[in-house]
A and B are shown apart, each in its own frame.
Chain A
Amino acid sequence: MTLPFFLCLLTLLCLAAIGTPIGLSMIVSAVVYLFMRGQDLGLAAEQILQGIYSSFIILAVPLFIVAANIMNAGTVSERLLNFCIALVGRFRGGLGHVNVVASLIFSGMSGSAVADAAGIGKIIIDMMTKAGRYAPGYAAAITAASATIGPIIPPSIPMVMYALVSDTSIGYLFLAGIVPGLLMGGVIMTMNAYISHKRQFALEDPVPLREFPRVTFRAFPALLMPAILLYGIYGGATTPTEAAAVAAAYALVLAALVYRALSWRALYNLMANSARDAASVGLIIGAALIFNYIVASENIPAQISGLLADLDIHPLVFLLAVNILLLVLGCLLDATTIILIILPLFIPACRLLGIDLVHFGVVAVVNCMIGLITPPYGILLFVINGVTGIPLGRIIGAIWPFFFALLGALAVMILSPDLVLWLPRQFGYQG
């Protein structure tokens, strides 16, 4: 590691540790790096400006924030979630299950874990914590954990990025994500059921069966939303980014015209809150882009591939070693950085060892998504902290059981390529 890079990381860690806003800390430590390297200090602004200005995909984030806030203010989400509660709420830890099920449904309309957490995640956290039924840290933790499923179930922005660097089929990658995504949902729900029983979380009153038609009718227009979006994406109407805007528009029509639950004043306030949330999330995503430049500039990928060059090992050992490395890197780096810069280093080795690249891709993306909830650099933790104000310490304290559950699911995926590749093979994948 070079001295400038070391000083840059040191500055970042020190500033972040004493509570300096992370986005601003990243900009300042990037300036330290550029200064030590004798490079143009304007590069920090260049990377962050060009990164935000050219990334159309990131737009899904503010749009999902708006959608979530409209649904919140206009009782849409409450009607929707009341329906889910009637469905699975009677079990202990019911809202936790609702959280995971809703994530599974919503993961089908977004390709980004951050958008999932900032959108539907915020609504469910508010519901879970409303009457003090769940500790804020627990609600945030299960939300962060289930948001990692978003980019595993298609559509998925990280899968598209992996397909580009690995020369694999996006269609097969998408299909290969479905079973692992359901598996992740399953282990989180199992962990939630276990913790709920152990800690005797309060039970929701079971919704009587005769209430079902009424709850369903009240929620019906809201229930249509995921259906419309799923049809939109799979039926050919919209791209994933556009789905975010359609979600917001539909929620607005529903809240303002159908449910008549939204005044002009309320609309202004929710736009102001959305603007504030979008700015704080946007700043940190932008600042992460400077770090992508620094990692590339340090030529860290070439150094790693040099290390790996003449190792003669069993494919499974290699796969496990790579995954451990990715987990460690996931604590420090952004998933985009890992997929675009780190993964390409291992792809030649995978080909050499006969590891299937679709299998490797799914496992690596799942690993990167787990990295989104590992401290100190876990962007989902930051985002949930940003949109709800729940202190990071409480979220991190409650995340561990879910982290280990997901780690177990990852191990299953690593050890059984057949499970991951089963669905793509049904559609003609030769691998």
Chain B
Amino acid sequence: MKLRSISNWLQNRATDVAVAMLTVMFLSFILQIFFRYVMRNPLGWTQEITLTMWLWLVFWGAAFMLKDRDHISFDILYLAVSQKVRRIFALVSAVALVAGFVASLPATYDYVEFMSIRRSSSLRIRLDIVFSVYLIFAVAIIARYSLRAFSLVRGADPDADAGPEPKV
């Protein structure tokens, strides 16, 4: 199906970006150690790059890479109930997440925008830009769980979006 292949393509590009972030984070940390201990002349900007990439990796990954199964969750009760009850559970989850993230979105936007008054310590990047990844994350969560709520209402299997089976 065409829509499915577009979605896969996007998923793969999101993974490329995450891999790039993790690689940059790792390399800049190694560079920092090399300059500190081998060259005895520490660089100022490596720590900031490392932390920024880590922040982006967490929210970018949580927005675009994590299926429901990848998230850390307490699934004892969920796995024990019938398919029908699971659908209700999944629907309540999705609605609660959409409600919570929508309700806090305006204030969250306001906070991120407010942070333009400050720049990062070494590279002087405006912090609203650094923190904007949280907005991307919040919007992605709202979109993903809205779609999930609609498909559940229309009778979809609650475990369809769950990703691969447990790796056990």
Contact = CB atoms under 8 A, between A and B. Distances in A.
A272 B15 contact: yes
Nearest to A383: B72
A248 interface: yes
B149 interface: no
A246 interface: yes
Contacts of A58: 54
Given A246-B33, A391-B166, A393-B79, A17 B55 contact: no
Contacts of B23: 271
A21 B26 CA distance: 27
Interface in B97-148: 97, 99-101, 103-104, 106-112, 130-131, 134, 138, 141
B113 to A, nearest CB: 10
A210 B126 CA distance: 63
B18 A275 contact: yes
Contacts of B93: 15, 18-20
Interface in A233-291: 237-238, 242, 245-246, 248-249, 268, 271-272, 274-276, 278-284, 286
A280 B71 contact: yes
Interface residues of B, number: 66
A169 interface: no
Contact of B60 (A20, A279, A396): A279
A124 interface: no
Interface in A1-56: 11, 15-24, 27-28, 31-32, 34-35, 40-46, 48-49, 52-54, 56
A301 interface: no
Given A129-B168, A388-B167, A44 B104 contact: yes
B48 to A, nearest CB: 10
A190 to B, nearest CB: 27
B107 A278 contact: no
Interface string A351-391: 00000000000000000000000001000001101101111
A289 to B, nearest CB: 12
Q: Say what secondary structure dominates the interface of chain B.
A: helix
B66 interface: yes
Contacts of B74: 16-17, 19, 22, 376, 382, 392
Contact of B33 (A17, A22, A242): A242
A141 to B, nearest CB: 14
Contact of B96 (A15, A35, A283): A15
Q: Say what secondary structure dominates the interface of chain A.
A: helix
A53 B58 contact: no
Contact of A41 (B75, B97, B103): B103
B134 A22 contact: no
A17 B29 contact: no
A123 interface: no
A279 B67 CA distance: 11
Contacts of A16: 73-74
B50 A59 contact: yes
A38 to B, nearest CB: 12
Given A32-B100, A245-B26, A22 B112 contact: no
B96 A279 contact: no
B61 A19 contact: no
B47 A21 contact: no
A34 B22 CA distance: 33
A132 B76 CA distance: 22
B168 to A, nearest CB: 5
Given A19-B89, A22-B74, A129-B168, A275 B101 contact: no
Contact of A393 (B25, B75, B111): B75
B19 A275 contact: yes
Nearest to B145: A24
A245 B54 contact: no
Interface in B7-27: 15, 18-19, 21-23, 25-26
A66 interface: yes
Contacts of B51: 53-54, 56, 59
A136 interface: yes
A336 B57 CA distance: 23
A32 B59 CA distance: 21
Contact of B61 (A17, A54, A278): A278
18 contacts: A18-B77, A18-B92, A19-B89, A20-B96, A21-B66, A21-B68, A24-B97, A41-B106, A42-B108, A45-B131, A136-B168, A275-B15, A276-B65, A276-B66, A279-B60, A376-B74, A386-B70, A396-B76
Interface of B: 15, 18-19, 21-23, 25-26, 29-30, 32-33, 37, 47, 50-52, 54-55, 57-62, 65-66, 68-80, 89-90, 92-93, 96-97, 99-101, 103-104, 106-112, 130-131, 134, 138, 141, 166-168
Closest 9 CB pairs of A and B: A279-B61, A19-B78, A28-B100, A21-B71, A42-B111, A282-B58, A42-B107, A389-B166, A41-B107
Interface of A: 11, 15-24, 27-28, 31-32, 34-35, 40-46, 48-49, 52-54, 56, 58-59, 62-63, 66, 129, 136, 237-238, 242, 245-246, 248-249, 268, 271-272, 274-276, 278-284, 286, 376, 382-383, 385-386, 388-393, 396
Given A22-B73, A41-B108, 15 more contacts: A19-B93, A31-B100, A40-B111, A45-B131, A59-B29, A62-B22, A249-B30, A275-B19, A280-B66, A282-B62, A283-B62, A385-B72, A386-B72, A389-B168, A391-B166
